[in-house]
Structure 1
Amino acid sequence: MSTTRPGRTADVAAPLPTVLTLGLARTRIEVRQFFRERDAVVWIFAYPIIMLAIFATVFGQGDARVGATGTFAGIPFGQYFLPGMVATGVMLSSFQNLAITIAVERDDGTLKRLRGTPLPASAYFLGKIGSVLTTSLVQTALLLLVAWTAFGIPMPTTAQRWATFAWVFALGTAAGAVCGVAFSSVPRTGRSASAVVTPVVLVLQFISGVFFGFTQLPGWMQDVSAAFPLKWMAQGMRSVFLPDQFQAQEVSGSWEHGATALVITAYLVLGLVVGARTFRWRRRDDG
């Protein structure tokens, strides 16, 4: 016999949390874990700022004249160097961070244990992406603040330039994140992850016009770097922080926003496809 009183409905079980809710909760966990790793925080957050400080101080008295002719007045080298550091910061926070941390989590069994919980895989990846977006925003904000206050580097003054910054930043962060997830399967162990991932990032910086004027690099190096997204991210950021006349010193004579969006989007799709096919929750020796 039912004991439910007339006019009252039976108790209804609370609805299960959605994937988005779980992803947001996982994001908070990932962000806390990130800031507990002090060496990673120092490297990812401080590296772009330290490099900017070094180059802006050493070359602070000179002008950045890009190209062979130098037919127009230069700008402080720190201003020319800043876009490359913004692009590098995005790559560190997204690609390098995820490629190393996921490899470590796979090696120490964290991924295996997570796979055995009710947490959906999609919520785990949403947490990683949310963490990357959060850390990238904080790191970039700190870099721009130091560049503006400590070195007097002017910030963009038009909505159009900030809009360009927004889509290059968002697209670059997304592509870096998914490529980091895909590349995390390359290191054989968590201990070897830094040794495998960090050289890739450093080489890309040197050939992508981060430390030098891109047109000053050998032609073959320009061709190689054009096949990777960091070159296009740096070029996109140059269109934000440099005067318009500097686009004449690019290889094509323009900022190539269309090509920038196309290449970075292609890496976003490629990272998704490769990551979906190669991602592993267990070590190679764990079945």
Structure 2
Amino acid sequence: MSTLSLGVSRGHIELLQFRRDRTALVFTFAFPAMLLLLFGTIFNDQYNQPGVTAAHVFSASMLAYGILTTAFVTMGSGLALDREDGTLKRLHGTPLTSTSYIIGKFLLVLALAVAEAVLMIGVGALVFGMSLPDASHWLAFAWIFLLSVVCCSLLGMAVSVIVKHARTAGAILNVPVVALQFISGVFVYPVTQFPQWLITLGSIFPVKWMAQGFRYVFLPDGMKVNEPAGQWELGRIALVLGAWCVIGLVLCLMTFRWTRADR
């Protein structure tokens, strides 16, 4: 079997295993949607565009949060668990290559991210009345979404190497997730109210650009004045996310191993 076919087979197994874990299934999807419902209900500010409320902004921005929880956290904790319980060590003795294993994990993450995005967009449109974009914006959504999933998956895989025990994975991986949401304009908007040094710091990481890209897709063009540069900066979004994909891949190649370092 080819590397790709082995990866697809492994992805099918990963999906079946995840579906059987009802606790993970519920919390992976329910928590971001629950936060969106809370934020959208509590904050009802009106912005400079007629008919645009804080709920609409959260509905767009929090797609970045949904991808982080389903890609970065799921990939990082899943890899840490597979190392600790010996799954990776046993797979190393089979024809499954590291590339096939990673493809399988990525297919799981991609499926979860798509389902999460559908749920979040559904909440935004059906509960808060967020308008759906036209065809050209959906095309932009596709490449922003794909780059975001790839980027977060690779970074989650790379960071998993510092997780010594699977039971601590959630606590370790969620620290950067929560911190980045606030400095990247996901939970606090507009970002222009932050000090300049904090805006610069947030701009280094991909989350800021993910959220900004999704706001471009779902919000009126006039909302771009609330962005730090006063523009949507699609070219820079593609450049930064692409760069983080490369950085994540290099880190994965440097850190991936089949067993824990202490074994």
TM-score, normalised via structure 2 length: 0.95
Cα drift, residue 96 of structure 1: 1.1
Percent of aligned pairs with the same amino acid = 41
SS across alignment from 1:284: coil
What is the CA–CA distance in structure 2 between the aligned matches of 1:187 and 1:117, rounded to whole Å?
A: 25
Q: Of the candidates 232, 252, 266, which is equivalent to residue 243 of structure 2?
A: 266
Cα drift, residue 161 of structure 1: 0.7
Corresponding residue for residue 208 of structure 1: 184
Letter in 1 for 2:159: F
Could you give the per-residue CA deviations for residues 53-76 of structure 1, whole angstroms, max 9, x where no partner exists?
11121124x31x3xxxx5x54612
Could you give the per-residue CA deviations for residues 256-281 of structure 1, whole angstroms, max 9, x where no partner exists?
11111111111100111111111121
Matched, 1:37 2:21: yes
Written as runs of structure 1 = structure 2, the 5 A alignment for 1:71-90 is 73=50, 75-90=52-67
Q: Of the candidates 46, 71, 78, which is equivalent to residue 30 of structure 2?
A: 46
Written as runs of structure 1 = structure 2, the 5 A alignment for 1:91-130 is 91-130=68-107
SS across alignment from 1:226: helix
Letter in 1 for 2:172: V
Cα drift, residue 38 of structure 1: 2.8
TM-score, normalised via structure 1 length: 0.87
Corresponding residue for residue 196 of structure 1: 172
Written as runs of structure 1 = structure 2, the 5 A alignment for 1:230-249 is 230-249=207-226
Corresponding residue for residue 139 of structure 2: 163
Structure 1 consecutive aligned stretches of length 4 or more whose deviation exceeds 4 Å: none
Residue ranges of structure 1 left out of the alignment (5+ in a row)? 1-16
Cα drift, residue 178 of structure 1: 1.0
Could you give the per-residue CA deviations for residues 22-58 of structure 1, whole angstroms, max 9, x where no partner exists?
1111111111122223333233211221111111211
What is the CA–CA distance in structure 1 between the aligned matches of 2:237 and 2:25, rounded to whole Å?
A: 29
Letter in 2 for 1:98: M
Letter in 2 for 1:207: I
What is the CA–CA distance in structure 2 between the aligned matches of 1:186 and 1:285, rounded to whole Å?
A: 12
| Structure exhibiting the larger radius of gyration computed from Cα positions | 1
Corresponding residue for residue 233 of structure 2: 256
Corresponding residue for residue 10 of structure 1: none
What is the CA–CA distance in structure 2 between the aligned matches of 1:79 and 1:89, rounded to whole Å?
A: 15
Corresponding residue for residue 7 of structure 2: 23
SS across alignment from 1:192: helix
Q: Return 273-282 or 184-193, whichever deviates more.
A: 184-193
Corresponding residue for residue 4 of structure 1: none
Cα drift, residue 212 of structure 1: 1.2
SS across alignment from 2:167: coil
Written as runs of structure 1 = structure 2, the 5 A alignment for 1:145-184 is 145-156=122-133, 158-184=134-160
State the Cα RMSD in Å. 1.4
Corresponding residue for residue 163 of structure 2: 187
What is the CA–CA distance in structure 2 between the aligned matches of 1:251 and 1:73, rounded to whole Å?
A: 21
Could you give the per-residue CA deviations for residues 99-132 of structure 1, whole angstroms, max 9, x where no partner exists?
1110111111111111111212211111011111
Letter in 2 for 1:247: K
Could you give the per-residue CA deviations for residues 218-251 of structure 1, whole angstroms, max 9, x where no partner exists?
2222111111000000000010111101112211
Cα drift, residue 93 of structure 1: 1.0
Residue ranges of structure 2 left out of the alignment (5+ in a row)? none
